[in-house]
Amino acid sequence: MQPHLSTREAARVELIQHVVSDPGELDRAFLAAARLGARTLRVARVGIWYFAEGESCIECQYLYDASRDEALARERIDLTLCGDYAAALRAHRILCADDALRDPRTRELAEYLARHGITSLLDCPIFERGKPVGVICHEHVGPARTWSKEEAGFAATVADMLGLYIEQDRAQRHYRALLQTRGELEQARVMESVGRMAAGVAHDFNNVLCALRMSSELLGFERAPTPALLQSHAADTLALLDQGARLVQQLSDVAHQLPTEEVSDLVEVAQSLRTFLHTLEPDGIHVELFTLTDRAPVRVARSYLEQVVTNLAVNARDAMLGGGTLTVEVGRERDRGGQERVFVRVHDTGVGMDEHTRERVFEPYFTTKGGGHGLGLATVYRIVRDSGGNIELASAPGAGTKFRLDWPSAD
Ligand SMILES: Nc1ncnc2c1ncn2[C@@H]1O[C@H](COP(=O)(O)OP(=O)(O)OP(=O)(O)O)[C@@H](O)[C@H]1O
Ligand SMILES: [Mg+2]
């Protein structure tokens, strides 16, 4: 059988069960506490007031009128005109004024009391983390009454619970603000990586456009292009357009934070870049492409691998202004630990690099070229590093340049 609970005890249990876990719930908790306080103490009105303007006044956050069972409009009391009441709020845990109009602590409120017909007051300061933040006022209308010790104790419990609700509300707001800041930070990080990616993609898109232009110009030189030539030109154009489309896709994948768990075959990538590599030939460059294996699977998105090889190839072309040989080799071999690795080697017979250049080539915006951006090798480096690969460089002035990139095989 349920043990019998006094009205006050039942009200206390009800109060304690309230938890403010959502912004906006504080108002509901206030209403529930004010209604419960009014019923339990049989008072006409319950007001919940906050200190405001450096504690020089109190503002009513909530005024519950039992006769209408609703919350009423806000009021404010200037504490600078009610010094005794203000001092009493700071000095007392509970302020029982049986005859509010005569009580030295509350008589300064005469105008307010008279306006609402209030005769007796039972006020308790509300504390949040030990600091008074407001006051709950139980206002009795009608013939003056004497507050019992139990009633005073109950009013203090209500005040303590209000302090707890306010604290819960504040904690919730902080927590939500923190979540929002974290969300914004994550968003900023994504935007930053999209920005970096956009710069790289714009750069490499330009490489593809140059190749398209070169291929179209070559066709323009033909006086009487044969159907076979036109067909091969159309195929080249499509291959380059696909390469460009993959670059754009890469940008939108990053914007949508798609995982890049794609496995690509480096052999296929090299072969699909044949068109691109041959657009470098009119500059007097002989291109040699060797695939030393049938398959070279690697856990890197195809568009990234294309970016890597095209950047190395374009740099090689720039280093061989008087002509030369560009060699691209794809293969696989075991490392010293017996692990299968997939590699691509890009060699040129160009001007090579001195030590100073060699040390800085992977830095973003490092360039020795008039119209260069210094983004090509920085992009290569980022892609290889982010996908768990290695990059090696051997170069000397007049001796050409050799890049070797390798990744664990994705077999
Ligand atoms: N194969 C190469 N031979 C000689 N020097 C090279 C070679 N590849 C890169 N470099 C040097 O490294 C620098 C940086 O190369 P990177 O590709 O990052 O930028 P860039 O080619 O100057 O400009 P862009 O952003 O247009 O590619 C080049 O300016 C050049 O000095
Ligand atoms: Mg470059």
> What pLDDT, on a 0 to 100 scale, did the predictor assign at position 201?
80
> What pLDDT, on a 0 to 100 scale, did the predictor assign at position 56?
92
DSSP 286-302: EEEEEE-SS--EESS-H
Q: What is the DSSP letter of 351?
A: -
> What pLDDT, on a 0 to 100 scale, did the predictor assign at position 349?
97
> What pLDDT, on a 0 to 100 scale, did the predictor assign at position 1?
42
Return the SS3 of 114: helix
Rounded Cα gap, residues 366 and 377, in angstroms: 9
Rounded Cα gap, residues 310 and 34, in angstroms: 73
Regarding the beta carbon of 327 and ligand 1, being less than 6 Å apart is answered no
Q: Relative to the CA of 373, which ligand 1 atom is closest?
A: 25
Contacts of 114 (CB under 8 A, 6+ apart): 101
Instruction: Determine the residue type at 268.
Output: E
Q: How far is the CA of 347 from the centre of ligand 2 (A)?
A: 15
Phi then psi dihedrals of residue 243, to 5 deg: -60, -45
Residues of the chain with pLDDT under 50: 1-3
Contacts of 338 (CB under 8 A, 6+ apart): none
> What pLDDT, on a 0 to 100 scale, did the predictor assign at position 74?
73
Q: How far is the CA of 62 from the centre of ligand 2 (A)?
A: 69
Tens-place pLDDT, residues 291-313: 999 999 999 999 899 999 999 99
Q: How far is the CA of 82 from the centre of ligand 2 (A)?
A: 78
Regarding the beta carbon of 410 and ligand 1, being less than 6 Å apart is answered no
C-alpha dihedral (82, 88, 93, 96), degrees to nearest 10: -80
Instruction: Determine the residue type at 303.
Output: S
Nearest to 399 by CA among 343, 351, 330: 351
Q: How far is the CA of 133 from the centre of ligand 1 (A)?
A: 66
> What pLDDT, on a 0 to 100 scale, did the predictor assign at position 305?
94
Q: Which residue has the tokens 């051997």?
A: 394
